[in-house]
Amino acid sequence: MSVVLRNAQRAVRVRRAPLRRAVCALRAALDAARFDVGLVCAGNGLMRRLNSAYRQRPEPTDVLSFPFHRLVAGELPRPRCRDEYNLGDIFLGVEYIHQQCCDTGEDFDSVLVVTAAHGLCHLLGYQHNTKSEWQQMYQKEVEILEELNRLTGASLRPLTAGLF
């Protein structure tokens, strides 16, 4: 299946092909390669509007995930027809992420991939509202990023190490 990537902002240059390849590899690491994923690179304005509408937080953020299926963490969807081979959509706040990277000195492209991995985990039902949920999600992120690292020679790690 496919990863459809749309750049809906102009504030930050996004290297779309490497990001799409990374998301395809992450999707495969989650055993979800047969499912479509929508990926939208968004600016602060769109992220602020979405975050306000869906989370009642009127500020931009790094990632918002909109799952197509309601899943228990780690469960794969069980589609009944072709239209249900969809994990959902991930909105990456690339302008917000870029600002954070400028402040911390982290590599923008790497952080973008790690943030997409986080969003993919949300599409598969992982959450981080409690310490046990966070531990489960963090472990899944480590697992899929290690697989991506093995394939690409990168050394990516989750960004949420100190969340709880």
State yes or no: pLDDT of 101 exceeds 70: yes
CB 43 within 8 A of CB 94: yes
Considering only CA atoms, which of 38, 42, 35, 32 is closest in space to residue 20?
38
pTM, 2 dp: 0.95
Q: What is the mean pLDDT of residues 15-34?
A: 96
Q: Which domains occur in the chain, in start order?
A: 3-152 (3.40.390.30)
CB 68 within 8 A of CB 84: yes
**Bridge-partner residues for 64, per DSSP?**
91
Residues contacting 34, CB < 8 A, separation 6+: 1, 85
pLDDT band at 18 (very low <50, low <70, confident <90, very high): very high
Q: What is the mean pLDDT of residues 36-45?
A: 98
pLDDT band at 74 (very low <50, low <70, confident <90, very high): confident
Written as six digits, the tokens of 104 are 């911390």
Residue listed under structure tokens 């769109």: 46
Q: What is the mean pLDDT of residues 126-152?
A: 95
State yes or no: pLDDT of 164 exceeds 70: no
State yes or no: pLDDT of 162 exceeds 80: no
